[in-house]
Amino acid sequence: MEDIRNFCIIAHIDHGKSTLADRLLELTKTLSSRDMEAQVLDNMDLEKEKGITIKSHAIQMEHYKDGKKYILNLIDTPGHVDFSYEVSRSIASCEGALLVVDASQGIQAQTISNLYLAIDHGLEIIPVLNKIDMDSARPDVVCDEVCDLLGCTPEEVFRVSARTGEGVAPILDAIVDRIPCPKGNPDGPLQALVFDSVFNSFRGVIAYFKVVNGSIRTGDKVKFVSTGEDYCADEVGVLKLKLQPTGEISCGNVGYIISGIKSASEVKVGDTITHVENPCDKAIAGFEEVKPMVFAGMYPVDASKFEELRSVLEKFQLNDASFVYEPESSLALGSGFRCGFLGLLHLEIVQERLFREFNMDVITTVPNVSYKVFTTQGEVLEVHNPSGMPAPTLIDHIEEPFIRAQIISKSDFFGAIMKLCLDRRGTLVSQHFITADRVELNYDMPLSEIVFGFYDSLKTISKGYASFDYHITGYRPARLVRLDILLNGEPADALSSLIHEDNAYDFGRKMCVKLKDLIPRQQFDIPIQAAIGAKIIARETVKQVRKDVTAKCYGGDVTRKRKLLEKQKEGKKRMRQIGTVQVPQSAFMAVLKLE
């Protein structure tokens, strides 16, 4: 155990974690030069396209110091606020962390958030200043910021360029010297913490775990504590770039287990694995239950694929433990699932991964957050969906979730950011200048206001400099109304939303204008109306496609033309009564991007 070091890399998005991980893998010769590629741990096409890490990845390296071999288990983590749950799981499996800060951008909101998470778990922090080779780098200024934040000396901060490899080698020695080895009892009963899992269509569920006490060998009879099911460990091994069977995983080490589990629901992230014959007394205190922030309905494009969607979501949930779902049905879209996400980027990534990895095309409804509705009978209902709202006469008051938002930006954009937050019903809690030209703002805001386009607007007005992080603070009373969209007089429940009274008129009008451009023209007029209860607050009309029925008339009496037009008018009226309006998927997506 003295030779094992478990560590993760934490940083804000785009500060170079994955590139630093590449250099560490190169220096320890974990990969041959033939296998090496940029961001080698980001193994999804989607991660490489967007340039972000979505999943945390584990890999084992070997490092020699003073002639002695050390085993380093690296768990690479995402940087985006929507994937903070992945970060919390990685941190729970480690004893130390590399805190990477971009020398040109300085400390960002997510850096601070992840750092506090690591300190709460008692991790040893090694500060690393990256991108010192860039022309815009300010290593001395940013080094002072890091020292103020951590209370360390400038000599303890490593200055590196992950792209060129400059200054990376001493980090490996520092990991061995400064990060403590894992603690545990090698001779005690087996206790292993599951921190991730994937589904393989040939081998079943593969669970990744860290052994806290005891050890595990191939052929052992093991059980998962939360489900109580027994299995035989068909294969155990370590995580190199590919799975490498070793026959035994000792105390303090990280590895994987294949035990022929077919059903995805039998493995839960945060569960404890133990032996059947000599079980441990209690489960390891795993990760906190994930709390989804944004809810949206997912429906199969073809109604007959409902069961297929169910099995796809079950397999997907294995690989993304922060995604939750439950069945629901909608008048317009039939049977589907109500899904919970950590944010809008998470929603977009999930939708894209379902299509790429499982070839599953889904319709996603307008995202919203969950509200607490207090009825006049004294009940408290949790409403995720506008259609679940009771009648207005039965509602006493509604409470909505509030967040504490932390924004760090250049002081040039101070005014524009304050205006954006005030427009989104934010109240300023505190502000302070980190350096002469960097300011930190803390706001209390309703979660529903940041669901729609807040992040994009913030990036636009700050020219990409501002960074944003948030956490839920609780519920507060709010004046909310349910806004319905009527197409041809029929409510389209997939487009309904709960919205603040003051913003309802503006939002309703914008939605009508947007839908007018997106809904294809039919043989009859389609009125698009926004309504609150029985009151229509906005209307647009998609004009009908007309056939020129009078083309064959030339000369003669006007009554001949009128007769043909009247006949057409009757047909249109009948068509309008039985006609249905198809809403394309692009309309649902466009509503999300309404500004």
What is the rounded CA–CA span in Å between residue 109 and residue 173? 29
- Which residues make Cβ contacts (< 8 Å) with residue 157, sequence separation at least 6? 127, 128, 129, 143, 146, 147
Q: What is the pLDDT of residue 135?
A: 78
Q: What is the pLDDT of residue 503?
A: 80
What is the rounded CA–CA span in Å between residue 501 and residue 513? 20
Strand extents, DSSP E, 384-522: 395-410, 427-435, 438-446, 467-478, 480-487, 490-491, 497-500
What is the rounded CA–CA span in Å between residue 348 and residue 215? 40
What is the rounded CA–CA span in Å between residue 242 and residue 348? 28
Q: Check: CB of residue 259 under 8 Å from CB of residue 308.
A: no
Task: Say how many C-beta atoms besides its own lie within 10 A of residue 27's C-beta.
Answer: 15
Pick from 127, 56, 109, 52: nearest CA to 86: 56
Q: Is the dihedral of CA 397, 401, 402, 407 positive or negative?
A: negative
In angstroms, the first-to-last Cα distance of the chain is: 55
Residue 418 phi, psi dihedral angles, 5° rounding: -60, -40
Arithmetic mean of pLDDT, 264-292: 71
Residue 454 phi, psi dihedral angles, 5° rounding: -65, -45
What is this structure's pTM?
Answer: 0.66
* Number of alpha carbons in the 13 Å side-chain half-sphere of residue 4: 21
**pLDDT above 70 coverage of the chain, percent:** 84
Q: What is the pLDDT of residue 488?
A: 79
Arithmetic mean of pLDDT, 296-310: 83
Statement: residue 24 has pLDDT above 70: yes
Look-up: residue for tokens 């204008």? Answer: 513
Tokens, residue 195: 């921190």
pLDDT category, 76, cuts 50, 70, 90? low
What is the rounded CA–CA span in Å between residue 351 and residue 361? 8
Residue 452 phi, psi dihedral angles, 5° rounding: -100, 105
Question: Backbone dihedral region of 570: left (phi > 0), alpha (psi from -120 to 50 degrees) or beta?
Answer: alpha
Arithmetic mean of pLDDT, 39-58: 56
Q: What is the pLDDT of residue 52?
A: 59
Q: Per-residue pLDDT tens for 420-460?
A: 888 888 888 888 887 777 788 888 988 878 776 677 778 77
Q: At what angle do helices 501-518 and 585-592 cross, to 10 degrees?
A: 140
What is the rounded CA–CA span in Å between residue 476 and residue 525? 43
Statement: residue 44 has pLDDT above 60: no
Arithmetic mean of pLDDT, 23-51: 61
Rounded to the nearest integer, the mean pLDDT of the chain is 77
Q: What is the pLDDT of residue 383?
A: 80
Higher pLDDT, 445 or 361: 445
Statement: residue 86 has pLDDT above 80: no
What is the rounded CA–CA span in Å between residue 468 and residue 308? 37
> Which of helix, strand or coil describes residue 178?
helix
pLDDT category, 45, cuts 50, 70, 90? low
